[in-house]
Structure 1
Amino acid sequence: MTLILKASELQALADMPGTIAAVERVFAGLSRGTAVQPAPDSLLLPSSDARFLPMAALSGAEELASVKLLADIPANRESSLPTQRSTIMLVSQLTGETLAILDGKVPTRVRTAAASAVATKLLARPASTTLGLIGAGALAVTHVEAMLAVLPIENVVVWSRSADTVAAFCSEISHYGLNITRASSVRDVVESADVLCTLTPAVEPLVRGEWFKPGLHVNAVGSRPRADHREIDSAGMVRARVFVDSLPTARAKSGALIIPVAEGAMTFEDVAAELGDVVTGTRAGRQGDDDVTLFNSVGIGLQDLAIGRLLYRAALKRGVGTRVALNN
């Protein structure tokens, strides 16, 4: 039987600490060779700016194969529709049975923040107390929850183009008892932060490397997986020690990396490590308090596999979802 799980059902099943641990585990599996993560292809037609990305993954430790089909359709904004939609399929690595089909909205948001938390735990200064956020939507709310799981965050400095979005964000996180500052500019956020998360679908850079102070850690999260989109300028990438979730994926999909390489400002060999290699200790993370570290988060299928397994098991335990016999 296959379990179908809707977004509304998944929201109640999401567990941030469990997801952080699961994402860290699959990153380690990628480093050790017990998991497989091919770079995703982009499917596109010359008549449209839409992209369709099948994001596949396989893990022996999790005994799962998965694929998420991500639809990235910027034109949806004109119709007040989501610009990104996705569906995740989980398949038993042992039997080939389709175990579950999940709406991708909640899993993607939570696993993305969890990956930032893994990077932050490994790369940020342990005493970091001020979180800076560029963007104040749902992903920002989830990142606050994730950062609190790994650091003693006391202060949040946030910027968004929309005052209404910032107000809603402040209301959403008010129960944490944090000191919240509404910044007047992106630069103010960058210069205030110990840990900076950029969470916007920017095409052109919003963040400049000249604003980076010694000791900063950056999670560059928001830009679409396209070679010409980025939030961080070339100077920022050169200034930082750069870490990625998967180098083949970043080389194919990350404008933040592809553009400065094309400009000659850096090379792909300048990437310090994949995050999984830092998890397993085969490559160094932060080397000193003055290092600027940057996690270039493109997003990989193993993250979807990790959270998909957690959500599937939680749904079975709680009796949530709709069972369908697909092979009847």
Structure 2
Amino acid sequence: MTAVVQDDALAGLVDLGELIEAVRTAHRDLALGRAAQPVPATSSTEGATIVLPMVATSHRLGLTVVKVLTDAPGNRDAGGPVQQSTVVVLDSRTGDRLAVLSGATGTRMRTAAASAVATDALARTDSRVLGLVGAGPLAVEHVAAIRRVRAIDRVVVWSRSSSRVAAFGSLLRQRERADGVPEIEVVALESPRQVVDAADVLCTLTPSRVPIVEGAWLRPGQHVNAVGAPPRPDHREIDSGGMARATVFVDSADVQLHDSGEVLLSLRDGATTEQHFRSELGAVLADLAPGRTGREQITLFNSIGIALQDLAFAALALRIDPAGERGRP
């Protein structure tokens, strides 16, 4: 029988530290030819809603995942979720359906894990201040994940909604107690510019359609994780100047050049060329390409999110090891 696992169960199945290592391995596998990550085909449905089927295969684990993501901006006004997803896990050798997983928990956790992997590979080791532009649940997960790879002692945060910042603070304290880690200082700031000015590591976590961070604000030595923009070619959080000014690393170059507004709009504006987006995180992790090469360099991980990261989460949730042995969720 196929296991069907809902989000409430998934939240307790995967350890964040183990997930960070699994995502690191998945990106390395992609660079070494041990995994396949094809470009997804986007399908428009009613109104502005899109359906994005995302596929990835791990040859090492013998798994394929098919994640079906919907992005429905119209749900926001009704108080519903804008993004929803379901992950189908298959045995890539036999085609057997192993499990169907709700996507929200896994997407949140693997996204933060990917930012932690990129931060560990690219940010200066003396980074201490984490800046968050956006204060939703993904912000809490990012604090937890990035604290695993850097000795962060202060968080600065901005959101358009003061109530959301307050909720973020409350949820973060709950998470710290659950994780058994000391409370970290949290400071709410009045603008994205102030967050950029203060941060050593900056995470942008908003579904913005127009740039919310300008390249002129970025500071020498800073690392940026651009995370929040949905996989739509007309959405971006970082302006073209920022993409041009930073040394950019991506999760998948082919997927980025197909779906990322940060990439496509900066190309349209003539600020960058396709070569600017060919440095993949996995190649850095596999020692096939350089990462940060100087203290003053501005590095930027453009995280559009790939199905191979969902596969890494699913393998841990289902307790699937490289020998192909499977446990039960």
Q: TM-score range by the shorter chain?
A: over 0.9
- Identity over the aligned pairs, expressed in percent? 47
- Distance across 2 between alignment mates of 1:130 and 1:228: 30
Q: Are the counterparts in 2 of residues 241 and 272 from structure 1 also a CA contact under 8 Å?
A: no
Pairing 1:112–2:118 present: no
- Distance across 1 between alignment mates of 2:237 and 2:221: 20
Pairing 1:241–2:240 present: no
3-state DSSP of counterpart to 1:228? coil
The residue aligned with 1:187 is 193
The residue aligned with 1:326 is none
The residue aligned with 2:2 is 2
Shift of 1:95: 2.2
The residue aligned with 2:225 is 219
Give matches, 1:242-257, under 5 Å. Answer: 242-257=248-263
- Distance across 2 between alignment mates of 1:15 and 1:198: 24
Pairing 1:267–2:273 present: yes
The residue aligned with 2:134 is 135
Pairing 1:29–2:29 present: yes
- Distance across 2 between alignment mates of 1:86 and 1:272: 28
Aligned amino acid, residue 17 of structure 1: G
3-state DSSP of counterpart to 1:273? coil
- Distance across 1 between alignment mates of 2:133 and 2:216: 16
Residues 166-209 of structure 1, C-alpha deviations (whole Å, 9 max, x = no match):
11111122334111110011000001000000000000000011
Q: Are the counterparts in 1 of residues 253 and 278 from structure 2 also a CA contact under 8 Å?
A: no
- Distance across 2 between alignment mates of 1:213 and 1:279: 25
Aligned amino acid, residue 144 of structure 2: E
When normalised by structure 1's length, the TM-score is 0.94
- Distance across 1 between alignment mates of 2:278 and 2:297: 12
- Distance across 1 between alignment mates of 2:208 and 2:61: 34
- Distance across 1 between alignment mates of 2:11 and 2:35: 27
Pairing 1:308–2:314 present: yes
Shift of 1:272: 5.4
- Distance across 2 between alignment mates of 1:246 and 1:63: 20
The residue aligned with 2:299 is 293
Unaligned runs of 5+ in 2: 177-181, 321-325
Shift of 1:13: 1.4
The residue aligned with 2:73 is 74
When normalised by structure 2's length, the TM-score is 0.94
Aligned amino acid, residue 260 of structure 1: S
- Distance across 1 between alignment mates of 2:129 and 2:222: 10
The residue aligned with 2:92 is 93
Which one of the candidate residues 202, 206, 221 is aligned to 2:208? 202
Aligned amino acid, residue 129 of structure 2: T
Q: Are the counterparts in 1 of residues 250 and 301 from structure 2 also a CA contact under 8 Å?
A: yes
Shift of 1:103: 0.2
Mean CA deviation greater in 228-237 or 172-181: 172-181
Mean CA deviation greater in 122-131 or 89-98: 89-98
- Distance across 2 between alignment mates of 1:157 and 1:230: 21
3-state DSSP of counterpart to 2:44? coil
Aligned amino acid, residue 201 of structure 1: P
Residues 270-300 of structure 1, C-alpha deviations (whole Å, 9 max, x = no match):
2251110001010000000000000000010
Q: Are the counterparts in 1 of residues 35 and 57 from structure 2 also a CA contact under 8 Å?
A: yes
Q: Are the counterparts in 2 of residues 44 and 50 from structure 1 also a CA contact under 8 Å?
A: yes
The residue aligned with 2:179 is none
The residue aligned with 2:158 is 159
The residue aligned with 1:38 is 38
Mean CA deviation greater in 84-93 or 166-175: 166-175
3-state DSSP of counterpart to 1:78? coil
- Distance across 2 between alignment mates of 1:285 and 1:10: 33
- Distance across 2 between alignment mates of 1:179 and 1:38: 41
Runs of 4+ in structure 1 over 3 Å off = none
Aligned amino acid, residue 166 of structure 1: V
Unaligned runs of 5+ in 1: 321-328
| Number of equivalent positions | 317
- Distance across 2 between alignment mates of 1:117 and 1:238: 23
Shift of 1:48: 1.7
3-state DSSP of counterpart to 2:77? helix
Shift of 1:9: 0.6
- Distance across 1 between alignment mates of 2:167 and 2:266: 35
Aligned amino acid, residue 291 of structure 1: Q
Aligned amino acid, residue 145 of structure 1: A
Cα RMSD of the aligned pairs, angstroms, is 1.2
- Distance across 2 between alignment mates of 1:81 and 1:255: 24
